[in-house]
Amino acid sequence: MKPRWLLLAALLALIGILAAVALLKPGREANRKPTLTTLSPDTIQSIRIERPNQPPIEITRHEEGWLMRKPLAARANRFIVENLLAVVAAPIEASLPARGTELARYGLDAPLASVKLDADEIAFGAIHPFQRQQYVRYRDNVYLIASHYYGASAQKPELYLDTRLLAPATRLTDLKLADFSVSQIDGTWQRRPERKALSSDRINEFVSEWQQASALSVQRHAGKHPIAWVTLGYAQGEKPQSLRIAIIAREPELVLYRPDEDLDYHFPAELGKRLLQLEPETPAPAK
């Protein structure tokens, strides 16, 4: 048996050597395409998106994430922003001459969008007629990159907004709805008025639903009047804070309005029931 094990060990060692040689094979690095910029997304502090006949969008880095400054003032969606910043590392498919009149040929005399990343700027021009590629200008040079990078800079302002109702750093301490409240007492969440059959797990789940609530969409406030209010207490540093949120609609979807942001958050009706009701679970009927 021993020779067979030795043979197997030798074969595994050979496979490892061949894999290493393949990874280090001369020319592998040479075949890697250069990237559009040498910028690092982690160091970028501000973003400005300009498009024809559209208000500019300004987003800045914040210690808790990203904030939109214009045309709305609200938290920005981290994943959308990261998708936008991915363009800095886009592989270059081709480099092209950028002399005066050539810009019009590439659609860069009037770009579809211009993205300013701190002091740098990337302009998006025309789509290549035969390839899924797009002309872009960066530092007075013109390049072809994959066209999907443009999509992240072509969204409506609302689509850059964070869909989470509460910022991740917000830690709830109590919730007051029209018919009941939930508060932390001696480290335990409790409902008032009390429901004997209501489990602590169900109450914790209710609080978690509010803590992590994420909307299907976020839009500018439509101006509709509230039908009820919810007051959320939360801790921020050493000072207790409160946030009043209006219920605009329950059907066919739940719409919650944050006056401090002047935004409407749209949730599916099923999630709305879980956010607005806290009763003992109805046992399944016996078969």
DSSP helix/strand/coil, 141: strand
DSSP helix/strand/coil, 126: strand
What pTM was estimated for this model as a whole? 0.80
Question: In the prediction, which pLDDT does 196 show?
Answer: 85
Question: In the prediction, which pLDDT does 2 show?
Answer: 44
Question: In the prediction, which pLDDT does 98 show?
Answer: 72
Mind listing the domains of the chain with CATH numbers?
Answer: 41-160 (no CATH), 171-276 (2.60.40)
Instruction: Answer for the pair 159, 216: CB distance below 8 angstroms, yes or no.
Output: no
DSSP code of residue 91: B
Question: In the prediction, which pLDDT does 100 show?
Answer: 63
Question: In the prediction, which pLDDT does 21 show?
Answer: 45
Question: Which segments within 63-196 are labelled E, that is strand?
Answer: 65-70, 74-75, 94-96, 113-117, 120-127, 133-138, 141-146, 171-176, 181-185, 188-192
Question: In the prediction, which pLDDT does 9 show?
Answer: 46
pLDDT along the chain (287 residues), means of 10: 46 49 48 89 96 95 91 94 96 83 86 96 94 93 95 93 92 94 91 90 94 95 95 82 95 95 95 91 57
Question: In the prediction, which pLDDT does 63 show?
Answer: 83
User: Tokens 């939360």 correspond to what residue?
Assistant: 234
Instruction: Answer for the pair 216, 266: CB distance below 8 angstroms, yes or no.
Output: yes
